[in-house]
Amino acid sequence: MKYTEEHEWLRVEDDVVVVGITAHAAEQLGDVVFVELPEEGSEVAKDDEVVVIESVKAASDILAPLDGEIVEVNGPLVDEPGKVNEDPEGEAWFFKMKVEDLSALDELMDEAAYKDFIG
């Protein structure tokens, strides 16, 4: 897995990248009460706002970590936003995207670097 400074995780599965937020981010947000996901098929550029999360503490935007196309969203999160707190790095992924250049992942942090970052 790779990590961004915005506390997103990325996991490559076959030819798509799965994106979610880290357990650290979910903990900082508190109880998540609302999730708005992007449209499947939409083209996004790195740093575009693609997901809106609201918790009892704050509202937050999730940014696209890479350029690409949203090919799948995790629809059940809309009805069960609390899953983000229960399993942020597993079942509570936000979207899957197809990226043209997987080597862009090389610029992101690995787990050890992310742990140092949140230190």
Rounded CA separation 118/6 (Å): 11
Is residue 73 assigned to a domain?
yes
**On the CB side of 3, how many CA atoms lie within 13 Å of its CA?**
18
Give the pLDDT score at 39.
96
Is residue 115 assigned to a domain?
no
**On the CB side of 119, how many CA atoms lie within 13 Å of its CA?**
3
Q: What sign has the CA pseudo-torsion 19, 25, 31, 36?
A: negative
Is residue 69 assigned to a domain?
yes
Rounded CA separation 13/93 (Å): 13
Is residue 119 assigned to a domain?
no
Q: pTM for this structure?
A: 0.94
Give the pLDDT score at 89.
95
Is residue 111 assigned to a domain?
no
C-beta atoms surrounding 109 within 10 Å: 16
Is residue 80 assigned to a domain?
yes
- CATH of residue 40's domain is 2.40.50.100
Is residue 112 assigned to a domain?
no
List the pLDDT tens digit at each of the 119 positions of the chain.
Answer: 999 999 999 999 988 999 999 999 999 999 999 999 999 999 999 999 999 999 998 899 999 999 999 999 999 999 999 999 999 999 999 999 999 888 999 999 999 999 999 99
The domain in which residue 44 lies consists of 2-100
> What amino acid is encoded at 7 in this protein?
H
Instruction: Report how many domains make up the chain.
Output: 1
Is residue 105 assigned to a domain?
no
